[in-house]
Chains A and B, each alone.
Chain A
Amino acid sequence: MSKLFVDLTIAFRNLVQHRRRSLFLGAAIAAVTALLVLLNGLSTGVRETMIDTATTLSTGHVNVGGFYKVTAGQAAPVVTDYKKVLAVVQKTVPEMAFAVHRGRGWAKLVSDTGSMQAGITGIDIRSEPKFSSVLQLESGKLDDLAQPGTILLFDNQAEKLGVKVGDALTVSAPTTRGTNNTIDVRIVAIAHSLGLLSTWNCFIPIESLRALYQINQESTGVIQIMLDRKDFDHIPAIAARLRQALDQAGYRIMEPDPRAFWMKFQSVSREDWTGQKLDITNWEDEISFMTWTLKALEGMSVVLIVILVAIIIIGIMNTMWIAIRERTREIGTLRAIGMHRREVLWMFLLESLMLGLLATIVGVLAGAAIAAGLNAAHVPVPTGLQFFLMSPHLHMSVHGSLMVRSVVFITVITGLAAFYPSLKAARLRPVVAMSHFG
């Protein structure tokens, strides 16, 4: 029988001996842990939904976009001779899952009964593998978007314009040379709204976008680089690598600016240069105007977690003071028979850590089970919240790493809360502790 085994035995049996107190405190720790898991699961779920939606509708994980300026005062979101840029990208980012190129623009949509301004994205639907998995069609067929002169709208846009699948629209926009141009398109699909990103964005074939802006086949709006989830943490490094490689390949690169491309029009137009400049951004830059929702959610979670952790700390410390008071004579006896201070400290810390560990494991499992239940129940989100959450249903994402982090975090907090009372117990003079009554 080792010393550790005896320490564990003492800790476990003391917890069992005071089972009502242990259960009460353990339940509180488990509840806080479950809440921590649920809050983190919610913000992770929103973040993942946001990434999935954003990286399908408007951005890659890393983007090589840029502006082409015919004159100093005009800027178009165009990458010329994009195949050469793509070749550099493919060579520089071997971890890339796939890449797509898209046209970018801002145009007026005109129907028989209404009109609206909207961002238009030119895509080649045949090279967009994730598109169909994110969009939920209300009517029409996605494959028809491969035909020139077609358009995909979202339901809120279709409602505003008073159109349905099969109707015609006129799209009007200024070309790169400053003159206005129009094209006629047929609505081939209407998709369910995906929140903020789908309120101002629609999709047409890239050939149609080129025709609208009168740009050549070798030009596109942006090269969007898609990564596997395991590489998400490397996005800043990949962006830096690309910046360096494109610079060495002779391209002019814009200074890093964490904003969406359309927010840069004014500042780029004011700059005194002409020709092509490339802009390397990541997904967070391109949807920076809406990540505040995520930050707000994370901020609220942090405030809640701080309050809950404070409650746990007070609970643990209170319980430890009671336990130490009850066991003061035992401490005195153990010190008298030769137990060192550090061993008394360890004995009480171990008891708290054991309670913390057991309770957090229960809490994490409960939190994960509740999250799985909520996901399975497809709990509907109010329309106002859908706008920000980008999903019609509540989605929680509880990963193994989150569960492990939660267990470690709360257990460490438990240990820290128990440290001061344990230290006081360890510093009791044996003669004082032995003569304690109460």
Chain B
Amino acid sequence: MKAIVSVREAVKNYTLGNVVVPALRGVTLDVVEGDFLAIAGPSGSGKTTLLNLIGCVDTPTSGSVEVAGKDTRRLSERELTDLRLHTIGFIFQSFNLVSVLTVSQNIELPLLLQRKLTGPERAQRVSALLERVGLREYGTHRPSELSGGQRQRVAIARALVTRPQLVLADEPTANLDSVTGAHILDLMRELNRTEKTTFIFSTHDQSVMAHANAVVRLADGKLVDRVTPAQAAAENGLPA
């Protein structure tokens, strides 16, 4: 299958005063279309940095990151923004919804930024997604009126509304209880199967990894290995 993400020897260093702090130390990774991949590792292992590079919100210090066939180092700021807008959806750990907009408006926002669809077309797509994430009756609510699980469903709907090829989720269940988290992952998995959308999500939770096709493990900014969820669970002495 065709790779939608191709990371080659990616290095990312952060500078804090005179100190250079390496976050990624030469990571190489391919993600194929339709994958449902977990990036696992302890805090500080480089999960979020890798997602930021793949999500085009940051660029590598050296090495390369290709997304949908485009080398992010060669793109201007405007082109990177367009790539994020048209190709990538984001789901954040803290949901990151616009607090002053309603649920429907939050979901519709990326479509408005794209300026491709007419008003009725946008309304139809928002309505279908609300139905899909089980929030049909919450369209006019503000995010502050929703539970954590409901907010993350809104965030998923917002990430999917542009029908992106790739959805990146940074610890999407970290702020949710285990039952709600499992529901969210089931929803993501279902959308992955039905919409053929590629999902890459970071986690250090073994039960979350269990939903993935494969688990990429990072430690100290390096890619350790790529294993199945069962192997990852077995190594941690947990049932698969």
Which A residues contact B (CB, under 8 angstroms)?
Answer: 1-3, 6, 9-10, 13-14, 17, 329-330, 332-341, 343, 429-431, 434
On whether the beta carbons of B84 and A338 are closer than 8 Å, the reply is yes
Residue in B52, B86, B92, B123 whose beta carbon sits within 8 Å of that of A338 in the complex: B86
A14 to B100, CA, bound (A): 6
Known: A1-B105, A13-B100, A431-B52. Contact between A337 and B158, CB under 8 A? Answer: yes
Nearest B residue to A3 via CB reads B112
Question: Is B108 interfacial (CB 8 A cutoff)?
Answer: yes
On whether the beta carbons of A6 and B109 are closer than 8 Å, the reply is yes
* Of B114-122, B145-153, B173-181, the one touching chain A: B114-122
On whether the beta carbons of B58 and A431 are closer than 8 Å, the reply is yes
Q: Which residues of A contact B81 (CB under 8 A)?
A: 335, 338-341
Nearest B residue to A339 via CB reads B113
Q: Which residues of A contact B58 (CB under 8 A)?
A: 429-431
B71-115 vs A, Cβ < 8 Å mask (1 yes, 0 no): 000000110011011100110101010111100010011101111
Q: Which residues of B contact A9 (CB under 8 A)?
A: 100-101, 105
Query: How near does chain B come to A6, taking the closest CB pair, in angstroms?
Result: 6
Nearest B residue to A427 via CB reads B77
On whether the beta carbons of B110 and A10 are closer than 8 Å, the reply is no
A381 to B101, CA, bound (A): 55
On whether the beta carbons of A336 and B57 are closer than 8 Å, the reply is yes
Query: How near does chain A come to B217, taking the closest CB pair, in angstroms?
Result: 23
Query: How near does chain A come to B174, taking the closest CB pair, in angstroms?
Result: 15
On whether the beta carbons of A338 and B100 are closer than 8 Å, the reply is no
Question: Is B41 interfacial (CB 8 A cutoff)?
Answer: no
Question: Is B221 interfacial (CB 8 A cutoff)?
Answer: no
On whether the beta carbons of B105 and A338 are closer than 8 Å, the reply is no
The 8 closest A-B pairs by CB, nearest first: A338-B85, A13-B100, A333-B96, A431-B58, A430-B57, A3-B112, A431-B57, A338-B84
Q: Which residues of B contact A2 (CB under 8 A)?
A: 112, 119
Query: How near does chain A come to B5, taking the closest CB pair, in angstroms?
Result: 16
On whether the beta carbons of B109 and A336 are closer than 8 Å, the reply is no
Question: Is B46 interfacial (CB 8 A cutoff)?
Answer: no
A1, A329, A341 — most chain B CB neighbours (10 Å): A1
On whether the beta carbons of A330 and B105 are closer than 8 Å, the reply is no
On whether the beta carbons of A337 and B84 are closer than 8 Å, the reply is yes
Nearest A residue to B114 via CB reads A338
Which B residues contact A (CB, under 8 angstroms)?
Answer: 52, 55, 57-58, 77-78, 81-82, 84-86, 89-90, 92, 94, 96, 98-101, 105, 108-110, 112-115, 119, 122-123, 158, 162
Q: Which residues of A contact B57 (CB under 8 A)?
A: 332, 335-336, 429-431, 434
On whether the beta carbons of A340 and B78 are closer than 8 Å, the reply is yes
A17, A337, A343 — most chain B CB neighbours (10 Å): A337
Q: Which residues of B contact A330 (CB under 8 A)?
A: 96, 98-99
Nearest B residue to A433 via CB reads B57
Q: Which residues of A contact B99 (CB under 8 A)?
A: 17, 330
A338 to B86, CA, bound (A): 8
On whether the beta carbons of B98 and A334 are closer than 8 Å, the reply is yes
Nearest A residue to B100 via CB reads A13
On whether the beta carbons of A338 and B82 are closer than 8 Å, the reply is yes
A337 to B107, CA, bound (A): 11
On whether the beta carbons of B55 and A336 are closer than 8 Å, the reply is yes
A338 to B115, CA, bound (A): 12
A99 to B92, CA, bound (A): 79
A98 to B21, CA, bound (A): 86
A333 to B113, CA, bound (A): 13
Query: How near does chain A come to B82, taking the closest CB pair, in angstroms?
Result: 7
Q: Which residues of B contact A14 (CB under 8 A)?
A: 100
Query: How near does chain B come to A389, taking the closest CB pair, in angstroms?
Result: 51
Query: How near does chain A come to B35, taking the closest CB pair, in angstroms?
Result: 21
Q: Which residues of A contact B122 (CB under 8 A)?
A: 1
Query: How near does chain B come to A430, taking the closest CB pair, in angstroms?
Result: 4
Residue in A337, A429, A430 whose beta carbon sits within 8 Å of that of B110 in the complex: A337
Query: How near does chain B come to A346, taking the closest CB pair, in angstroms?
Result: 12
B55, B112, B162 — most chain A CB neighbours (10 Å): B112
On whether the beta carbons of A343 and B113 are closer than 8 Å, the reply is yes
Q: List 26 A-B contacts (CB under 8 A).
A: A1-B108, A1-B112, A1-B119, A3-B115, A6-B105, A9-B105, A10-B100, A13-B100, A17-B99, A17-B100, A330-B96, A335-B57, A336-B57, A337-B109, A337-B113, A337-B158, A338-B85, A338-B114, A338-B162, A339-B81, A339-B85, A339-B113, A341-B77, A434-B57, A434-B92, A434-B96
Nearest B residue to A330 via CB reads B98
A17 to B55, CA, bound (A): 31
A337 to B113, CA, bound (A): 9
On whether the beta carbons of A329 and B109 are closer than 8 Å, the reply is no
Nearest A residue to B123 via CB reads A1
B82, B84, B115 — most chain A CB neighbours (10 Å): B84
A3 to B112, CA, bound (A): 6
Nearest B residue to A329 via CB reads B96
